[in-house]
Amino acid sequence: MSKTIGQQILISGVGGQGVLFITSLLAEAAINKGLPVFTSETHGMAQRGGTVVSHLKVGEFSSPLIRPFKADGLLVLKDENIAQHGAFLKTGGWAVVNSANDLKAEKKIAASAIDADKLAQEIFNPKSANLIVLGFALARAGRTSMDRINLFCSLTDIKRVLKGKFRGREKLLNSSVKALEAGYKKCLK
Amino acid sequence: MSKRKLLLGNEAIARGLIESGCAIATSYPGTPASEILAAVAYFQKEASLSMHTQWAVNEKVAFEIAYAGCQTGLRSAVSMKQVGLNVASDPLMSAAYMGIKGGFVLISADDPGPHSSQTEQDSRLMAMFAKIPVLDPDSPRQAKELMGVAYEISESFKTLVMVRPTTRVCHSRQDITLGSIPKNKREVKFEKNPARWAATPKFRLQLHKELEEKLAAIANYRPTAPKKLNPKAKSARAIIASGVAAAHTKDILKELKIWSKMPFYQVIQPFPLHRKFIAHIIDTYEEVLVIEETMGVIEMQLADRYRVKGKLSNTVPKVGELLPEKIQEIISDFAGLKSEKFTIKSAPGRRPTLCPGCPHRASFFAIKKAAPRGIYTSDIGCYTLGLNLGAVDTVLCMGAAISQASGFYHAYKNEEKRPDIVATIGDSTFFHAGVPALIDAVVQKVGFVLVILDNRTTAMTGNQPTPATGHGACGEPTETVDIESLVRGCGVKFIQESNPYELKEFIALLKKAVKYSRKNGPAVVISKYPCVLHRARQGETGEYIPVEVTEECDGCGYCIKHFECPALIFHDDEEDKRVSIDPILCTSCGVCLNVCPKGAFVAKE
């Protein structure tokens, strides 16, 4: 992977959904690949159910923030956040949204919807919607069809990060990988 | 041995302290600074260092402890958020005159926005006020580097040094190379010198003269002189920036394709601003734009009011966080380019609220039952979110819940109709600033109820320990101070502990306290139940009382309005307004069983 890569991804949700966790997985994946990475997070008040957004930039950036209409991609864990954060997406950018609706009403951005909350209940891991959404996005990155997205890392890269993070905690590792793969497979259907 | 690791800005700052041989580190939690001390403790344990690292009761005490450390020759550091600096400002002003023996670094983290503070004040201005130099990092990487630079300045010029990161430095993560940790230990020796360390006013004049000389010398210190980042660029106009604003500007100038055309200077040391730099700027450029947060500290030192533009000239907005899209607009205007205006229409987003199962929710619900037309003074912490239940009327600063209750009492005491006054304060906040105010209330026989919300932690900032917890920053055992004894020691006669989850009994106790306070002075109720988030992280659980909403629910919305638990979902269907419980969010605390006036909430079989 060339060092001149420049990818900007916004991850949006509400406190408690694990927005920062997903951000750190992607950031660690970038470090493992020798890529420069910069993230920006909201702490504190956000934990109490407030809106959380984190900015992830892979490449040679000085500024930690993504500007409106500049994000290459958007991971939205709470669909109501599209109203606020959809405007960060550049023209032609990609979005994966945790939503029970099909989002055809959101004409402004070409988003894939996945009912990650429902899927999370089905795999008996109610808090894993964040990993499911990430898995789905990784699948889109792997596709060779029309809605392929450009992502700096793969499913294998993220699994490697999970293995490192949950070393010695088999149960947590297994359930996390399961959630990730559930989202991945959902996309390929 | 160089290892690349993803570090939070605050972790990078901590690493910088450790790699500079800091031997005493103190702090009080406050967003965005809280993670600094926790990271110091982490690195300390990892490398088995014998330094002293602690959370102190408040920022003033934290500062004084660290300062005494530096008076013995050890390198010390104290960290806090910008409003915490207000609390530490008393020792700061005095210490600045006295100087240091071992290096002393004061880290004051600002919160432009503000995202989670009472103000968006600029700590660099406080440094100017105190007459100490301040460094302004633009990223986690630079923040780590500047720790070493700060100690060098401190020891070379015998002065305290401030380092001022902001939220976007503190809470950004960047890949950073770790350095080695020094092994040599310093001699610990306090050398008596009362003319300095106990200086009375006569000696203070001499110290002040010395301080001014130090500043003049630091304004000539080469290593921290402003740098022109694009030496080849030549123009009649130039841009100066510091901190994160400089980081944003770097990217924006490149994107606007004017990097080779617009001279750009980054300032690392906003105060004192280098003399040669000031002269160079004034001599060279017709117009200068200064981009910095949150006040025009650099700008005000470039005293040409016609040619220098920035906050003071209203070219850069005086309030709110300086987001990169705003910087892009300002630079485009300054450079004569067509500027795209990106104003994202601000959608409301979700407001923060107390967690499902939070004991504060129960406490506030009970307070409104016991004193429905009361004045509710409150304070700073998770419980400030009692605002959402209509149970918080005032929030000023740490400890003010009690003193404001006193103030309201004295204002109303000769009136015919006197409202009940119920103050709420957290356990950590009480230790921080509540004790002196409570003593005053006892002495003045203030008729109010103080509810101390004891969830056994400093929750909002990340569950740091309090004096009642029993362990310190490194997990080491500490002595404890019991709140009930402390309150009794303040002279309060009505004190009782109660569990807010036992809502009926808790409300009855509050009513008793309110009645007492109307004639007899302060009544204190200690609402005791652990923070559920903290408890869950430690792998423990509490009650398990699953609740369901029956057909009796007529959608009156009372529970939503007055209990406001995020697990309660209001279905606003035309025909069928009702409430249900979200199984993902609900913690089965069972408190809501006592809330519904229609009896529609029942425990599941």
**Predicted pLDDT of residue A45:** 60
Task: From residue B572, give the alpha-carbon distance in Å to each of A101, B580, B600.
Answer: 18, 11, 17
pLDDT digits (tens, 9 = 90+) for B339-352: 777 666 666 667 78
Window B:138-167, CB contacts with A under 8 Å: 138-139
SS3 annotation, B164-181: CCEHHHHCEEEEEEECCC
pLDDT digits (tens, 9 = 90+) for A43-102: 656 667 778 899 999 999 999 999 999 999 999 999 888 888 888 999 888 999 999 887
Q: How far apart are CA B305 and CA B292, in angstroms?
A: 17
Q: How far apart are CA B151 and CA B116, in angstroms?
A: 30
Helices (H), A36-125: 82-85, 116-122
For residue B602, what are the β-bridge partners? B548
The domain boundary, picked from B477, B499, B530, lies at: B530
Residues of chain B contacting residue A117, judged by C-beta atoms under 8 Å apart: 584
The sheet carrying B494-498 orders its strands as B394-395, B375-378, B421-426, B449-454, B523-528, B494-498
Record: contact A64-B4, CB cut-off 8 A:
no
CATH code: domain of residue B551: 3.30.70.20
**Predicted pLDDT of residue B384:** 94
Tell me which amino acid residue B471 is: H
CATH code: domain of residue B306: 3.40.50.920
Residues of chain A contacting residue B533, judged by C-beta atoms under 8 Å apart: 47
Query: Is the domain covering A6-188 a CATH 3.40.50.80 domain?
Result: no
Select the more confidently predicted residue: A103 or B492: B492
Residues B377, B508 within the same domain: yes
Tokens encoding B319: 């309030």
pLDDT grade for A140, boundaries at 50, 70 and 90: confident
Tell me which amino acid residue B189 is: K
Residues of chain B contacting residue A5, judged by C-beta atoms under 8 Å apart: none
The label of the residue with tokens 């309090």 reads B466
Per-residue pLDDT at A108 exceeds 70: no
Q: How far apart are CA B100 and CA B514, in angstroms?
A: 51
Residue B352 lies in a domain: no
Residues of chain A contacting residue B173, judged by C-beta atoms under 8 Å apart: 24, 27, 37-41
Residues B441, B459 within the same domain: yes
Which of B139, B250, B350 lies nearest to residue A50, judging by beta carbons?
B350
Record: contact B116-A117, CB cut-off 8 A:
no
Residues B384, B506 within the same domain: yes
> In chain A, what is the straight-line distance between the N-terminal and C-terminal CA atoms, in Å?
29
Record: contact B350-A31, CB cut-off 8 A:
no
Q: How far apart are CA B149 and CA B218, in angstroms?
A: 12
Record: contact A63-B252, CB cut-off 8 A:
yes
Contacts of B152 (CB under 8 A, 6+ apart): B103, B223
Helices (H), B175-323: 194-197, 201-218, 243-255, 275-284, 297-301
Asked if A115 has any chain B CB less than 8 Å from its own CB, the reply is: no
Q: How far apart are CA B169 and CA B247, in angstroms?
A: 10
Per-residue pLDDT at A174 exceeds 90: yes
Q: How far apart are CA B502 and CA B541, in angstroms?
A: 17
Residues B95, B185 within the same domain: yes
Residue B25 lies in a domain: yes
Residues of chain B contacting residue A81, judged by C-beta atoms under 8 Å apart: 349
Residue B214 lies in a domain: yes
The two beta strands, B172-178 and A37-40, are antiparallel
Record: contact B352-A61, CB cut-off 8 A:
no
Q: How far apart are CA B564 and CA B485, in angstroms?
A: 34
Record: contact B173-A38, CB cut-off 8 A:
yes
State the smallest CA–CA distance between residue A137 and chain B in angstroms.
Answer: 22
The two beta strands, A37-40 and A51-59, are antiparallel
The domain boundary, picked from B165, B192, B218, lies at: B218
State the smallest CA–CA distance between residue B470 and chain A in angstroms.
Answer: 24
Residue B540 lies in a domain: no
Tokens encoding B364: 């506030």
Residues of chain A contacting residue B329, judged by C-beta atoms under 8 Å apart: none
CATH code: domain of residue B33: 3.40.50.970
State the smallest CA–CA distance between residue B255 and chain A in angstroms.
Answer: 11
Task: From residue B189, give the alpha-carbon distance in Å to each of B25, B54, B74, B183.
Answer: 18, 21, 9, 19
The domain boundary, picked from B468, B501, B530, lies at: B530
- The CB density around residue B313, as the number of other CB atoms within 10 Å, is 14
Asked if residues B135 and B246 have their Cβ atoms less than 8 Å apart, the reply is no
Residues of chain A contacting residue B345, judged by C-beta atoms under 8 Å apart: 87
SS3 annotation, B207-225: HHHHHHHHHHHHCCCHHHC
Tell me which amino acid residue B323 is: L
Residues B318, B201 within the same domain: no
Asked if residues A64 and B250 have their Cβ atoms less than 8 Å apart, the reply is no
**Predicted pLDDT of residue B398:** 97
CA B248, B249, B252, B254 dihedral sign is: negative
Residues B33, B118 within the same domain: yes
Record: contact A43-B171, CB cut-off 8 A:
yes
Asked if residues B431 and B380 have their Cβ atoms less than 8 Å apart, the reply is no
The candidate with the shortest Cα–Cα distance to A18, out of A153, A132, A164, A183, is: A132
Residue B342 lies in a domain: no
Helix or strand (DSSP H, E) at A90: strand A89-98
Tokens encoding B404: 């404001």
Tell me which amino acid residue B567 is: A
Residues B418, B476 within the same domain: yes
Residues of chain B contacting residue A16, judged by C-beta atoms under 8 Å apart: 355
Which of A36, A39, A67 lies nearest to residue B325, judging by beta carbons?
A67
Give the residue numbers spanning the domain of B252: 224-335
Q: How far apart are CA A120 and CA A117, in angstroms?
A: 5
Residues B173, B40 within the same domain: yes
Helix or strand (DSSP H, E) at A136: helix A129-142
**Predicted pLDDT of residue A146:** 60
Tokens encoding B221: 């210190």
Residue B354 lies in a domain: no
Asked if A152 has any chain B CB less than 8 Å from its own CB, the reply is: no
How much of chain A is in helix, strand and coil states, percent to nearest 5?
A: 40, 20, 35
The label of the residue with tokens 């910095």 reads B292
The candidate with the shortest Cα–Cα distance to B408, out of B397, B394, B398, B429, is: B394
| Residue ranges of domains in chain A | 6-188
CB pairs under 8 A between A and B: 127
Per-residue pLDDT, averaged over A123-127, amounts to 87
Residues B326, B386 within the same domain: no
pLDDT grade for A144, boundaries at 50, 70 and 90: low
Residue B178 lies in a domain: yes
Residues of chain B contacting residue A171, judged by C-beta atoms under 8 Å apart: none
Residues B295, B397 within the same domain: no
**Predicted pLDDT of residue A44:** 56
Average pLDDT per consecutive 10 residues, chain B (605 residues; last block may be shorter): 82 98 97 97 96 98 98 98 98 98 98 93 98 98 98 98 97 94 92 96 96 97 98 97 98 95 98 97 96 97 90 93 94 90 68 91 97 97 94 97 98 96 97 98 98 94 93 95 97 98 97 97 97 89 92 93 93 87 90 94 90
Q: How far apart are CA B87 and CA B59, in angstroms?
A: 6
Residues B213, B235 within the same domain: no
Interface test with B, best of A3, A45, A52, A117 (most B CBs within 10 A): A45
Count of domains forming chain B: 4
Residues B370, B485 within the same domain: yes
The sheet carrying B104-109 orders its strands as B52-55, B24-27, B76-81, B104-109, B161-163, B134-135
pLDDT digits (tens, 9 = 90+) for A14-52: 888 899 999 999 999 999 999 999 999 876 566 677 788
Record: contact A63-B325, CB cut-off 8 A:
no
Q: Which residue of B has its CA nearest to A60?
A: B251
Record: contact A45-B250, CB cut-off 8 A:
no
The separation between CA B459 and the C-alpha centre of its own chain, rounded to angstroms, equals 13
